[in-house]
Amino acid sequence: MMREDSHSKSIEVSNLSMTFRSDDGTSVNALAPTNLEIEPGQFVAIVGPSGCGKSTLLNILAGFLKPSEGQASIGNEAVAGPSIDHGVVFQDYALFPWLTVLENVAFGLKSQGLGWSERNEIAMHFLDVVSLRDFADKRPRELSGGMKQRVAIARTFATKPSVILMDEPFGALDALTRRFLQQQLLKIWSESRKTVLFITHSVQEAVFLADRIIIMTARPGRIKSDFLIDMDHPRDFSSDAFRRIEKVVFDSLDEELAKTFGLAANQLQAD
């Protein structure tokens, strides 16, 4: 396979639904028929309560799961399986522990048929972007959680995929590390402006990063609301505009949380 500097691609989801059947005959409806269109180059965050099917949606787009019904396409091509053109950043990093940091970042470049020196050069550049050049020869176990996720982000961006799917990538990190990684993600993203689908629990994170926020309902997952965020980067957490958007998103989400926990929405806000 040859490496090409692919352009960002669109994501289209039509009537996509997913029902998991277990061996004992019970079935769980994880994703109700869903439609979604994402333009090339858009940074979209999906926010929703646990079990709203947002990871299911991502796993279908990544080609890890086959949907029960409907279709997922990337760049007008139906998703047939995992592909190096559809990058994935996992919550638990998924670094290869037997490889060095540099070799991890170069892993996909080898699949793309690049020679040794070219691979190293590109991998070093991306390590530079996430400020980990000095750790190139370390093994993943010598790195902190935040550093591991920066390596994983560099590894995904290095292959220049046309869409990048991120499954709660900062979910396991502490608040300070999280803020730093959000900034680094925007930095590496602004270099290439790939289409990004970013799943998160954090409203603040979604408002800080995304051009567009989609809220999903509790099981079975369905798209509840869809907001465009028209704010320049870098965004200031404490600005009025930021707070206003955050409030709108929270209000929409609270209705869902209330359903999940069987409360009235106003009770939730009182807490």
Partner 1 sequence: MHFLRHSLPYALALLAIGTVWQIAVWVSQANVAILPPPLLTLATLWELIANGDLAKHTLASLSRVVSAWGISVLVAVPLALAMARSRTVERLLDPVIELFRPISPLAWIPLAILWFGIGETGKVFIIFVATFFPILLNTVSGVKGVDPVLIRAGRVLGCNNEATLFWRVILPAAMPTIIVGLRIAFGTGWAAIIAAELVAAQSGLGYLIADGMEILRSDLVLAGMIAIGVLGVLIDSIFRFIGNQYDWGPA
Give residues in contact with partner 1 (CB under 8 A).
Answer: 1, 62-64, 81-84, 86-88, 90, 92-98, 107-108, 110-112, 139-141, 148, 155, 159
Based on CB atoms, which residue is closest to partner 1, 147 or 207? 147
Minimum distance between the CB of residue 237 and partner 1, rounded to whole angstroms? Answer: 31
Based on CB atoms, which residue is closest to partner 1, 103 or 256? 103
Based on CB atoms, which residue is closest to partner 1, 109 or 213? 109
Query: 105-108 contacts: CB < 8 A, separation 24 or more?
Result: 105/151, 105/154, 105/155, 105/158, 106/158, 107/155, 108/84, 108/155, 108/156, 108/158, 108/159
Minimum distance between the CB of residue 5 and partner 1, rounded to whole angstroms? Answer: 16
Minimum distance between the CB of residue 197 and partner 1, rounded to whole angstroms? Answer: 14
Q: Evaluate the CA torsion angle 241, 243, 246, 247 in order and state its sign.
A: negative
Based on CB atoms, which residue is closest to partner 1, 41 or 140? 140
Residues 186/180, Cβ–Cβ less than 8 Å: no
Angle at 196 between CA 194 and CA 199, to 5 degrees: 165
Based on CB atoms, which residue is closest to partner 1, 161 or 220? 161
First to last CA, the chain: 55
Minimum distance between the CB of residue 90 and partner 1, rounded to whole angstroms? Answer: 6
Minimum distance between the CB of residue 79 and partner 1, rounded to whole angstroms? Answer: 12
Residues 82/161, Cβ–Cβ less than 8 Å: no
Contacts of 160 (CB under 8 A, 6+ apart): 3, 4, 5, 6, 192
How would you classify the pairing of strands 195-200 and 43-47? parallel
